[in-house]
Amino acid sequence: MRSSSWSRPWPQTPTLLPLLLLLPPLSPWPVWAQVSATASPSGSPGARDCPEECTCEPGGLATCSALALPAVPAGLSLRLRELLLDHNHLRALPPGAFAGAGALQLLDLSENGLHSVHVRAFWGLGALQLLDLSANQLEALAPGTFAPLRALRTLSLAGNRLARLEPAALGALPLLRSLSLQDNALAALAPGLLARLPALDALHLHGNPWACSCALRPLCAWLRRHPLSTSEAEAALCVWPGRLTLSPLTAFPDAAFRHCAQPLALRDLAVVYALGPASFLVSVAACLALGSVLTACSARRRRRTAALRRPRRPRDPDSDPDPHCSVSPAGPGIPAAAAQA
C-alpha cells in the first residue's frame, strides 16, 4: 500500500541547502539595491528626499543658497533637519510654505527681500529651533505668525523695517532664548511683549531709533533684570528727546519713570474700547430720556400733593344733589316712593 503524500518525511537540511543557495540569483533586484532600500528609511536623505535645485548632505542638511529661487522648492522631506534658503529671491511666504518638512530644526531665510509672511507660513514646523529672517524687508508681522513654533530657541529679525512689534506677532514662545531686533525702525517695544518670553536671556537692540519716553519703561525694567554684555548695552542708545540723545537704555533707573502714569488694566481698556463714539451718544440719549421721565413723574406727584392739601368748599345740596337720595314734597328724610304711596 502506497503511503499518502502527507506522510512523507520533510527533507533533511543537507538536501535543502543547495536549493536555498540558488534562491538569491532568482531575485530580480541585485543584492546592493536590496540593502540600500532597506537602510534608506533610517539613513540620510537620498536623491528622492532632496529638492531638485538643492544640494543635500548626510545628516539632513539641504543647501539651497544663492540660487535665485523665486519660491520655496517643492519636495521637502520629513528627513530634512536643516534648510538653507538664504540669498535667494523669496519675496513672500505663502500658507504651508514648508509642508512636509515637519522635522526641520534650522531654517535660514536671510537676505531674500522678503516683504510678506503669511500667518500660516510656518504651520507644521513644531520642531524648529532656529529661524533666521534677517536682512529682509519686513515692515510688519501678522498676529500669530510664530505661534506654531513652540520649540523655537533662536529668532533673528535683524536688518528689517519693523517700526512696531506687537506681542501677538511673536506670541508665547516658552523656549525662546535669543531674540535679535537690531537695525530696524523700532522706537519702543509694546507692553507685554517680553513678558511672554520667560526663557529669554539674550536680546539684541542696537541700531534702532529708541525714544526714551514713558513707552520705554517695560524694556528698561527688563534690561535691569537681565544685564546685557557691555558692548551690547552701550550700543542700544536713545535718539529722542534731544537732551537724552546717545544715552544708553541701561542708564535709566525706575525712578526716572515716576512721573509716568500707570498703564490701564486690561479690564479698564475693555471698558474704554466698548464705549466708542456711537456708544457714548446712545448712552447720553438714554440718560436724557430717563431724566425726562423722572422729571415728569416728579411734577405729577407734586401736583397731586398740592391738590390734596387744598381746602374743600362746603357742599350745596341744591347745586350738587346726591343721585342716591331725593327729597319729596312731604318733608325731608322721607323717600319719594313712600310719599307717592
> Which 3 state secondary structure label does DSSP give 273?
helix
- In this structure, is the dihedral angle defined by the CA atoms of residues 55, 57, 60 and 66, taken in order, positive or negative? negative
Distance of alpha carbon 63 from alpha carbon 58, whole angstroms: 12
Q: Residues 221-230: pLDDT tens digits? A: 888 888 765 5
Angle at 214 between CA 213 and CA 218, to 5 degrees: 115
Q: Residues 152-183: pLDDT tens digits? A: 999 999 999 999 998 898 888 999 999 999 99
pLDDT at position 112: 98
Q: Out of 143-157, 239-253, 278-292, give the one with best mean pLDDT.
A: 143-157
Distance of alpha carbon 270 from alpha carbon 264, whole angstroms: 10
Distances (CA, A) of 260 to 94, 217, 254, 323: 42, 9, 10, 83
- The C-alpha cell at 287 is 440718560
Percent of the chain scored above 70 by pLDDT?
68
- Which residue ranges form the domains of the chain, and what is each CATH number? 50-208 (3.80.10.10)
**What DSSP string describes 36-105?**
HHHHGGGSS--GGGS-TTSEEETTTEEE-TTS--SSPPS---TT--EEE--SS---EE-TTTTTT-TT--
Lowest average pLDDT, out of 31-35, 57-61, 147-151, 179-183, goes to 31-35
Is 0.95 surpassed by the pTM of this model? Answer: no
Q: Residues 5-35: pLDDT tens digits? A: 334 344 444 444 444 344 444 333 333 333 3
Residues 6+ apart with CB under 8 A from 166: 141, 143, 190, 193
Task: Assess whether pLDDT exceeds 80 at residue 281.
Answer: no
Distance of alpha carbon 80 from alpha carbon 127, whole angstroms: 11
List 318's β-bridge partners, or say none.
none
Peptide bond before 241: cis, by omega within 30 degrees of 0?
A: yes
Q: What is the DSSP letter of 110?
A: -
Residues 6+ apart with CB under 8 A from 162: 138, 139, 140, 141, 181, 184, 185, 186
Distance of alpha carbon 30 from alpha carbon 187, whole angstroms: 66
Q: Do 136 and 113 contact (CB within 8 A), yes or no?
A: yes
Distance of alpha carbon 141 from alpha carbon 147, whole angstroms: 12
